[in-house]
Amino acid sequence: MNVTTYEREHLAGVVALCEAEGWPSFGADLDRAHATLTAPGVTSVVALDGDLVIGFAYLLSDGHIASYLSMMATHADYRRQGVGRALIEFAHPRTGAQRIDLVTDTAEDFYKSYEHHRTFSGFRIYP
């Protein structure tokens, strides 16, 4: 496994991971997805097995204190093999932030495995 910074060549793999999770936003408009993954204040990273994108993480950050893990997914065949942890360990220093905040509805046990975690209630609003 190789973890690296996201590039346009990884977009199809990222979209495939999102679609497997039932997240349609990135696949609906590829140019918009790429712009989102490379926007100012965004850190996007991918995990690769050869040329296959096996995971990705997309974080927003103020560059100083807070970052927000907006999306992270791992290919079903590669789960519980350290991909998610490798993505976070690679991405976090690149955000410049001291902490990562996130909301999850599927991976609570994974995030609870981190030392110094603190649980909050969260919401997603679609105005």
Q: Encode pLDDT of 34-67 as tens digits.
A: 999 999 999 999 999 999 999 999 999 999 999 9
Domain 2-102, CATH: 3.40.630.30
Side chain identity, residue 15: V
Segment (H or E) for 33: helix 30-37
Binned at pLDDT 50, 70 and 90, residue 77 comes out as very high
Question: What strands lie across the sheet with 42-49, from one edge to the other?
Answer: 2-5, 42-49, 52-61, 66-74, 99-102
CB count within 10 Å of CB 54 equals: 24
Residue 110's nearest CA partner among 91, 84, 87 is 84
pLDDT at residue 125 above 80? no
pTM of the model: 0.89
pLDDT of residue 120: 77
Count CB-CB contacts under 10 A for residue 99.
Answer: 13
Please check the confidence at residue 2 and state whether its pLDDT lies above 80.
Answer: yes
Q: Does residue 32 surpass a pLDDT of 80?
A: yes
Greater confidence (110 vs 88) lies with 88
Residue 100, pLDDT above cutoff 70: yes
